A and B are shown apart, each in its own frame.
Chain A
Amino acid sequence: MFPTSLRVSAALPLALLAALAVVPFVADMAGQPFWLSFFARILIYAIAASALNLALGFGGLVSFGHALFLGLGSYAVALPAAHGFAQGWLHLLVVLGGCGLVALLVGAVSLRTTGMAFIMITLAFAQMGYFLFVSLKAYGGDDGLAVSQTSRFFSVDLGAVRPLYVVAWLVLALVTWWMTHLRASAFGMALRGTRQNARRVQAMGMQPQQIKLVAYVLSGVMCGVAGMLLANMNAYVSPSTLAWTVSGDLIVMVVLGGMGSVYGPLLGALVFLGLEEVLKGYTEHWMVVMGPLIVLMALLGRGGLVGLMQRLDERMATALKTRMAGSSANLDTRAPVSATLPAQDKPGEAAWQPR
């Protein structure tokens, strides 16, 4: 009805998601099989970043230890595989059960703290996981472990990059779709309310601690699924997946894309890994360029890339409104009524605004 309904902040990420769907065909035509595994990695990290965003963006839980779940998800494939189990369903079960249980325990302890203490305690748990797998000499220890049997679902083997890509894309699309719903659902609102004012949430009759714990467990399990895909893609796992730098990368992706927005993690993963790849082509000291770029982004945009687009949308909507008010004022005395209509989109937009 109104041209304002086309919002860059929603349209662009969806277009990107659609573009990612045709990467296998383009890679084929261009004869660049590398593209497929490169973009598969982006999809997987986008899933992990979306998972972190559920805790960090919606719940305000600054987990500096989500690499733990990425790593656990990876080892949940590698360890059964090392014992000859190749059934994907079994791997998935171990991922869901293992990550769910660990997230429940880690969350139950960590969520007793807030702020800096929470950041440190989640980091500590992830480091414990890191050193645990380093010390498991039977499973490669420091050197890691080849995934001898990749996950098989019926006749689909995730060890092959093409089915892996398709599955990763589907999982990301599903997760993103779910997040658009979760964000405005009763649970999503309660979780976001808890971030803003936990005391009030409890005074209304809900239990903020319980809400945070459920969010943390969901987040951990989703991150584990990303780890499962990662292990299949690399056909190799190592403790380095649990390194604290990986947790940091995930946080950067979420912040870069826009904390608390649905599409932010996807954009963040795409830009972060894309930049890394491009810059690596020029210099091995790519972090020297990447670092300032991230700082610049953080300074430029509160709300990250999505926030930037939202401001663009608002500007366009305002421009359109004034133009319409101006042009129709001559024709119709009731113009102000229609001119105020776009403003009614505002609550939706405002609800998108991460803090």
Chain B
Amino acid sequence: MAAALSTDRLVMRYGALLVTDDVSLDVRPGELHAIIGPNGAGKTTLINQLSGELAPRSGTVRFDGQDVTRLRVDQRARAGLLRSYQITSIFEEFTVLENATLSALAAAGHPWRFWQPLLASKAAVGAAQEALALAGLAELGHVPAGELAYGQRRQLELAMTLAARPSLLLLDEPMAGMSPQESRAVTQLLSQLKRRYTIVLVEHDMDAVFSLADRISVLVYGKLMFTGTPDEIREHPEVRAVYLGEEAVHGDAQRHS
């Protein structure tokens, strides 16, 4: 089966520091592919290269069979490769619905409308409302995004990505800083999104990763150490030693719950 998203020998350096070390990754259509690794393993840097915010020193990124290595972020986004941010990046002055609608409109076409209100574009508003409902924000459409609580901001962050009707989602720590309840809600949301979208998930919450992921890739010091199913990861001695350290997977999971 052709990969939805793949990298071939991707290399990225900051000065002498090798942050992405010859990474060749395959993400299959429809799978939820988690990327884990200790802090500083280069997960966000890898996501930034997949989304187009960083250009790799060498290697290629292919999306839907096309070489997108040289495409800009917005070009990849319009092709259906959408990302969410680890640091919430919403438009605080706009309402929740406006945030999501702008995202839907951006993916669907161009912003060159100088008279008709944004909220008059029915298709975009429809997509936005659908995404807000999915993310559990249906009731909050009229609230200014700046007034949202932290967990709700993270939900909006997700909803904005969904409103664009992506074919592939790059989620950079969607549960960062969430309370256990909020994390469980997002885990549930992601399990609903699974199969509908191909998802690349970077996440520290091991409970979420092991319950959601079809396959997991372990990144250590920029190197792709191993890719496998959650069970294979649990049993992999090297992964246990390097990434999970002294703690067993279960111990780690308990600490997070």
Interface residues of A in 200-256 (CB under 8 A from B): 200-207, 211, 214
Q: Given A186-B113, A187-B111 in contact, is the A205-B77 Cβ separation under 8 Å?
A: yes
Asked if A205 meets B115 with Cβ closer than 8 Å, knowing A189-B94, A200-B90, the reply is no
The answer to whether the Cβ of B121 comes within 8 Å of any Cβ in the partner chain is: yes
Q: Check A34 for interface membership: any CB of B closer than 8 A.
A: no
The CA of A196 and the CA of B77, in the complex, are separated in Å by: 19
Indicate whether A182 reaches chain B with its CB closer than 8 angstroms.
yes
Q: From known contacts A347-B142, A351-B94, infer whether A199 and B89 are also in contact, taking CB-CB under 8 Å.
A: yes
Within the complex, what minimum Cβ distance (angstroms) separates B140 from chain A?
A: 10
B116 within 8 A of A: yes
Whether the pair B95, A350 counts as a contact (CB closer than 8 A) is: yes
- Chain B residues near A189 (CB, 8 Å)? 94, 98, 102, 111, 118
Interface residues on B, range: 35 or more
List the count of A-B residue pairs having beta carbons below 8 Å apart. Answer: 113
B8 within 8 A of A: no
Counting contact residues on chain A (CB < 8 A from B), the size range is 20 to 34
User: Is A184 interfacial (CB 8 A cutoff)?
Assistant: yes
A315 contacts the other chain (Cβ, under 8 Å)?
no
Does B184 reach chain A (CB closer than 8 Å)? no
A190 touching B72 in the complex, CB below 8 Å, given contacts A182-B114, A185-B117, A346-B144: no
Known interface pairs A181-B117, A203-B73. Does A187 touch B95 (Cβ–Cβ under 8 Å)? no
A296-355 at interface with B (beta carbon < 8 Å): 344, 346-347, 350-351, 353, 355
User: How far is it, in angstroms, between the C-alpha of A187 and the C-alpha of B94 when the chains are bound?
Assistant: 14
Report the minimum CB–CB distance from A199 to chain B (whole Å). Answer: 7
Would B77 and A204 count as touching, CB distance under 8 A?
yes
Check B115–A182 contact: CB distance below 8 A. yes
Q: Are A196 and B93 in contact, CB atoms less than 8 angstroms apart?
A: yes
Taking the complex as formed, is B74 at the interface, i.e. its CB lies under 8 A from any CB of chain A? yes
Task: Report whether B95 and A347 are in contact in the complex, using a CB–CB cutoff of 8 Å.
Answer: yes
A199-B89, A202-B73, A206-B74 known; A186 vs B111 contact (CB < 8 Å): yes
A204 CB, min distance to chain B CBs, angstroms: 4
A-B contact pairs, 15 of them (CB 8 A): A187-B114, A189-B94, A192-B93, A192-B94, A193-B94, A199-B89, A200-B85, A200-B90, A202-B73, A202-B74, A203-B77, A204-B74, A206-B74, A206-B110, A351-B95
Residues on B facing A (Cβ under 8 Å): 51, 53, 72-74, 77-78, 82-83, 85, 89-95, 98, 102-103, 105-107, 110-119, 121, 142-144, 146-147, 160, 164
A→B interface (CB under 8 Å): 178, 181-182, 184-190, 192-193, 196-197, 199-207, 211, 214, 344, 346-347, 350-351, 353, 355
Known: A186-B118, A190-B111. 4 other contacts (CB 8 A): A197-B89, A200-B91, A205-B74, A350-B144
